[in-house]
Amino acid sequence: MIKNIIAVVFIIIFLVELFFSSAGSAHRKKKKLKGWNVVKGKIKSVEKIQDELSKRTVSELTIKTDNGNTVYAKQSPMFCIYEKGEEVELIEKDGVHRFIGNDRVHKQGIKETLIGTLPLLGFIMIAAILSYLAHVWG
């Protein structure tokens, strides 16, 4: 009975850790590519819409760049933590823009990834040590 309760608790903790890891990886988007120019912009609106191709609800960010272009970026509504009026970075090459995020969200993504992976690694190390000790003593 106690083993089952412990197993359920470990599964719940594992699922929470996976959520934080996936949220962190979703927020860690800020990658600059060689040959692309960094462009700054401000978020004009954040709307929840249904994507026509995937039939999923997404958050659509409308971004006005410093040079006057309007760019639309889609984010998962579960992980979209951008706010209207917030300054973000995009990369641009030959008139094509890609959304890369901003420092605040990137730092939060790093923190969430660490919150998600470090305790998970701790649980794995404890399980490995207990397994080794059971083998040595048994």
- In the chain, the amino acid numbered 57 is T
pLDDT tens sequence across 22-79: 766 665 666 777 889 988 999 999 999 998 888 889 889 999 999 888 999 888 887 7
pLDDT tens sequence across 15-32: 887 777 776 666 566 677
* Cβ contact 75:62 at 8 Å: no
- The whole-number pLDDT of residue 47 equals 92
- The whole-number pLDDT of residue 42 equals 93
Q: Note the pTM of the prediction, 2 decimals.
A: 0.63
CB atoms within 10 A of CB 123: 14
Of 3.30.2030, 1.10.3470, 2.40.50, 3.40.50, the CATH number of 32-101 is 2.40.50
